[in-house]
């Protein structure tokens, strides 16, 4: 599944990414930001992509949106390979003009920092109107009505008046709402939210998460939430994909990933965060070391230099051999739960149940 980029024709899933690789040539070497990522997503479902900074999660989202192909002055282009199937169309080999017509209408993105993602020179309304008129042949008045309607839907007070405000006149939470309105103006079927709440305060974060959840129910779109915050994905996602060093190390239903995680990195993430819903622990269990450079990803499992279980015997597998994503047996409700780890299944179950879970 991860190794055969040309296998199979049009998939049945709404979105399917097959063996996506995005590499950037730099003076220091080739940065392998995403190195063989595959996943699928159905309409009405939410996928959470979790990882630390530099794990390739944002690069993946920009790759799906087709925003990497344009290199500045034609130089330093990202090298992309793999397949991205959206609703039966392959985007990677498609004409850039065709992808542009899809972008914004079929797939839209909510960016992390609404202040820099919005143009300071134009009113919020003008920016939403523009996004609508690019894809719909309507007059300005209709588009404006639509913009007001959406601002109202995302909870901006007095939308008919605020539509003529500039982004700086909005507060952080309101700007993020306006961004969401802009992304939703064309009823996209795929919505990618890249760290949608990272710049916001907790109380506002809770409002935005609720809004994204409600809107998804209403529009039935497929949503990808990209974040480093396990709390946020637990709130939103049906499925979770954990990324490390440009690759997926674990993927499965949210319930499974949080309650029976299989990869030592996922254990590390769960152990590193102080949790408000559990009894106070004396100490956190950090992951030693720091994330790898994507120019020099460690051979074999990228996590092996930081993995506390790297020295356990694994039946003749050497450290330089890369683990592939393999399904976890008896993983609950039938949805696949995959992990890329050399540890034998019984060891993993034992370590999680005996060593990790009690300390969380």
Partner 1 sequence: MSIPKQPAPAAAEPLLKVEGLVKHFPITKGLLRRQAGAVQAVDGLDFEVRAGETLGVVGESGCGKSTMGRLITRLLEPTAGTIAFDGRDISHLGVAGMRPMRRDIQMIFQDPYSSLNPRHTVGTIVGAPFRLQGITPEGGVKKEVQRLLELVGLNPEHYNRYPHEFSGGQRQRIGIARALALKPRLVVADEPVSALDVSIQAQVVNLLDDLQDELGLTYVIIAHDLSVIRHVSDRIAVMYLGKIVELTDRSSLYAAPLHPYTKALLSAVPVPDPRRRARRERILLTGDVPSPISPPPGCRFHTRCWKATEVCKQQEPPLTALLPGHRVACHHPEEAPTEAVREGAPA
195 is a site residue for partner 1 (CB under 8 A): no
Sheet-wide strand order for 326-327: 107-110, 190-194, 222-227, 46-50, 239-244, 247-253, 338-339, 326-327
172 is a site residue for partner 1 (CB under 8 A): yes
* Contact flags string 103-142 toward partner 1, x per CB under 8 A: ----------------------------------------
245 is a site residue for partner 1 (CB under 8 A): no
Closest separation in Å from C-beta 239 to partner 1: 10
Closest separation in Å from C-beta 180 to partner 1: 16
270 is a site residue for partner 1 (CB under 8 A): yes
254 is a site residue for partner 1 (CB under 8 A): yes
5 is a site residue for partner 1 (CB under 8 A): no
Closest separation in Å from C-beta 275 to partner 1: 6
In contact, 251 and 265? CB cutoff 8 Å? no
Please compute, for residue 303, the number of CA atoms within 13 A of its CA located in the half-sphere on the CB side: 29
73: how many CB neighbours lie within 10 A of its CB?
A: 5
297 is a site residue for partner 1 (CB under 8 A): no
Question: Out of 9, 274, 315, 329, which residue is the one contacting partner 1 (CB under 8 A)?
Answer: 274
| Listed ranges 114-122, 140-148, 206-214, 344-352: which one lies at the site for partner 1 (CB under 8 A) | 206-214
What's the residue count for the chain?
360
203 is a site residue for partner 1 (CB under 8 A): yes
52 is a site residue for partner 1 (CB under 8 A): yes
165 is a site residue for partner 1 (CB under 8 A): no
235 is a site residue for partner 1 (CB under 8 A): yes
Longest dimension (CA), the chain: 69
| Listed ranges 35-43, 104-112, 130-138, 278-286: which one lies at the site for partner 1 (CB under 8 A) | 278-286
346 is a site residue for partner 1 (CB under 8 A): no
- Considering the complex, state which of residue 186 and residue 304 has its C-beta at the smaller distance from partner 1: 304
In contact, 46 and 225? CB cutoff 8 Å? yes
243 is a site residue for partner 1 (CB under 8 A): no
Task: List residues binding partner 1 (CB under 8 A).
Answer: 52-53, 157, 171-174, 201-207, 209-210, 228-235, 237, 254-255, 258-259, 268-281, 283-288, 290-291, 357-358, 360
């Amino acid at each position: 599944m991860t190794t055969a980029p040309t296998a199979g024709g049009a998939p049945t899933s709404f979105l399917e990414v097959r063996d996506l690789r995005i590499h950037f040539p730099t003076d220091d070497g080739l940065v392998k930001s995403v190195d063989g990522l595959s996943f699928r997503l159905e309409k009405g479902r939410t996928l959470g992509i979790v990882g630390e900074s530099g794990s390739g999660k944002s690069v993946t989202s920009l790759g799906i949106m087709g925003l990497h192909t344009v290199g500045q002055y034609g130089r330093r282009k990202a090298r992309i390979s793999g397949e991205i199937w959206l609703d039966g169309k392959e985007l990677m080999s498609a004409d850039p003009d065709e992808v542009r017509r899809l972008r914004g209408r079929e797939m839209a993105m909510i960016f992390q920092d609404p202040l820099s993602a919005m143009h300071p020179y134009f009113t919020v309304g003008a920016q939403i109107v523009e996004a609508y008129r690019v894809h719909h042949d309507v007059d300005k008045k209709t588009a404006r009505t639509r913009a007001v309607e959406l601002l109202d839907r995302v909870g901006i007070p007095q939308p008919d008046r605020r539509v003529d405000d500039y982004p700086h006149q909005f507060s952080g939470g309101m700007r993020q709402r306006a961004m969401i309105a802009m992304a939703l103006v064309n009823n996209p079927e795929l919505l990618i939210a890249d760290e949608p709440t990272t710049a916001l305060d907790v109380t506002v974060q809770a409002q935005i998460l609720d809004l994204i959840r409600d809107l998804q129910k209403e529009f039935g779109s497929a949503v990808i939430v990209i974040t480093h915050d396990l709390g946020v994905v637990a709130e939103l996602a049906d499925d979770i994909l954990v990324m490390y060093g440009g690759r997926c190390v674990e993927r499965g239903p949210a319930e499974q990933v949080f309650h029976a995680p299989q990869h030592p990195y996922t254990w590390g993430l769960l152990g590193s965060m102080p949790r408000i819903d559990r009894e106070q622990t004396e100490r956190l269990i950090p992951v030693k070391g720091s994330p790898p450079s994507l120019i020099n990803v460690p051979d074999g499992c990228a996590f092996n230099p930081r993995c506390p279980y790297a020295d356990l015997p694994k039946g003749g597998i050497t450290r330089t051999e890369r683990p592939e994503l393999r399904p976890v047996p008896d993983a609950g409700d039938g949805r696949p739960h995959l992990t890329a780890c050399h540890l034998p299944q019984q060891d993993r179950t034992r370590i999680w149940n005996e060593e990790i879970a009690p300390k969380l």
